[in-house]
Amino acid sequence: MRTTISVIKCDVGSLAGHHIVPKPILEMAEKRLKEAKEQGIINSYFVFNAGDDLELLMVHTRGENNEEVHGLAWEIFQKTAEKAKNLKLYGAGQDLLKTAFSGNIRGMGPGTAEMEIEERPSEPIVVFAADKTSGGAFNFPLFKIFADPFNTAGLIIDPSMAGGFKFEVLDVKENKKAVFKCPEEMYELIALIGSVDRYTISHVWRKRDDLLCAVTSTSRLSLIAGKYVGKDDPVAIVRAQHGLPALGEVLMPFLHSFFVEGWMRGSHWGPIMPVSLKDSKCTIFDGPPRIVAIGFQVVNGEIASDDDGKPLISDLFDDPAFDLARREAIEHAAIMRRMGEFEPARLSSEIMEYTTLPRILERFKDRFIPV
Ligand code: 13P
Ligand code: 13P
Ligand code: MG
Ligand code: MG
């Protein structure tokens, strides 16, 4: 039996700015997924938010890119966006870039990360979801988790991890992909994924047996819409333990904050802040960019649940161990914001091409004379 973990997410509208998904929207999504479970479309679900992004975690046995599962998510996003419009929530329907659903939600605006797996004897999973950033934000932590022996002790001392991992890198500009092996091609891999706006790690496999270990959402809204419509606010699914990095190694990159692109108007470098689900809301300068992580077990095509069928979910960043990263994030935010609209606080002019800035500069283009 093969189990599929699908995380499909969308900004359908948010409360008081690009800040948080309000309760009625979360409840609507939950109600529909409960029905879908009863109808047998999915086996388990968990609804949460990463800032202003509505996140649907669904576990089922229908495989990746399944029309019914994608159609279910699309229907939920349509209906919740309608509700958001009625409430005049901010950015209602923001990420719904296409109108007619034709079997697959990819390329329509919502973000998707899916993995179809053969369950191991025990199957611990971590789902990460971030707001006010983009797909490349996972390059740094995924590299550390699966390739950096100073992060992951198992790369050195676990015989079942010997040989390392391989990374699929997507060139989001040219829409091409390539696979790089670690440790032997580590430097070349870093050469690419260090450019987080262009290259995104999309899959990670264990090299010796091609076991799928991690997937990320890799859409670029601006490349679908041709203009700035909000950031891509990515999700990632990571398997842990038993010949893969331990849970603690998967969480280790978040001991410290690091910089990601996004934040205010999707136009600034900002420090990522790992937060609990209750603090999953963006405030200062529409941030700082925040990331949540949930941990759970997959068992026989479902999320392991209690006797009432409630999924057992651990809110992984709800832990004082991440206080250091949170404090660093605020300190780095303060340092960066002193720079205002001067680089490197603002993204490079190449990325700003997709924002509203060119419209401002357009007005002055005739003022420039040859020198
Ligand atoms: P346990 O001995 O508690 O299973 O832990 C093993 C491990 O991998 C810890 O990182
Ligand atoms: P989102 O991409 O999270 O909607 O944020 C948009 C924005 O402009 C924040 O300042
Ligand atoms: Mg928004
Ligand atoms: Mg968002």
Judged against a pLDDT cut of 80, whether residue 226 lies above it is answered with no
Question: What is the reported pLDDT for 295?
Answer: 99
Average pLDDT taken over every residue of the chain: 96
Mean pLDDT of 282-309: 98
pLDDT in tens, 197-212: 999 999 999 999 999 9
Q: How far is the CA of 1 from the centre of ligand 4 (A)?
A: 35
Residue closest by Cα to atom 9 of ligand 2: 265
Mean pLDDT of 347-364: 90
Question: What is the reported pLDDT for 353?
Answer: 84
**Could you tell which of 122, 151, 158, 241 is best to mutate to test the pocket of ligand 1, judged by most ligand atoms within 8 Å of the CB?**
241
Question: What is the reported pLDDT for 53?
Answer: 98
pTM strictly above 0.75: yes
Mean pLDDT of 79-108: 93
Question: What is the reported pLDDT for 196?
Answer: 96
Question: What is the reported pLDDT for 139?
Answer: 98
Ligand 1 atom nearest the C-alpha of 247 is: 10
Mean pLDDT of 331-349: 97
Per the structure, the complete domain to which residue 58 belongs is given by: 2-367
Confidence of residue 310 (pLDDT cuts 50, 70, 90): very high
Question: What is the reported pLDDT for 173?
Answer: 87
Question: What is the reported pLDDT for 220?
Answer: 75
Does the annotation count 11 as an active-site position?
yes
pLDDT in tens, 32-60: 999 999 999 999 999 999 999 999 999 99
| Residue of 159, 127, 153, 171 whose CA lies nearest to 249 | 153
Question: What is the reported pLDDT for 162?
Answer: 87
pLDDT in tens, 254-268: 999 999 999 999 999
Q: How far apart are CA 14 and CA 215, in angstroms?
A: 27
Does the annotation count 319 as an active-site position?
no
Mean pLDDT of 292-313: 98
**Active-site residue among 231, 233, 281, 286?**
231
Mean pLDDT of 213-229: 82
**Active-site residue among 9, 83, 207, 228?**
228
Does the annotation count 228 as an active-site position?
yes
**Active-site residue among 11, 52, 131, 148?**
11
Residues with CB under 6 A from ligand 1: 246, 248
**Could you tell which of 131, 231, 356 is best to mutate to test the pocket of ligand 2, judged by most ligand atoms within 8 Å of the CB?**
231
Ligand 1 atom nearest the C-alpha of 248 is: 10
Q: How far apart are CA 119 and CA 220, in angstroms?
A: 31
Q: How far is the CA of 208 from the centre of ligand 3 (A)?
A: 41
Residues with CB under 6 A from ligand 2: 11, 18, 51-52, 91, 94, 131-132, 230-231, 233, 264-266, 286
Greatest alpha-carbon span in the chain: 76
pLDDT in tens, 160-181: 998 999 999 999 888 899 999 9
Question: What is the reported pLDDT for 15?
Answer: 98
Mean pLDDT of 175-189: 97
Q: How far apart are CA 24 and CA 27, in angstroms?
A: 5
* Number of structural domains the chain divides into: 1
Mean pLDDT of 280-307: 98
Confidence of residue 225 (pLDDT cuts 50, 70, 90): confident
**Could you tell which of 89, 224, 286 is best to mutate to test the pocket of ligand 2, judged by most ligand atoms within 8 Å of the CB?**
286
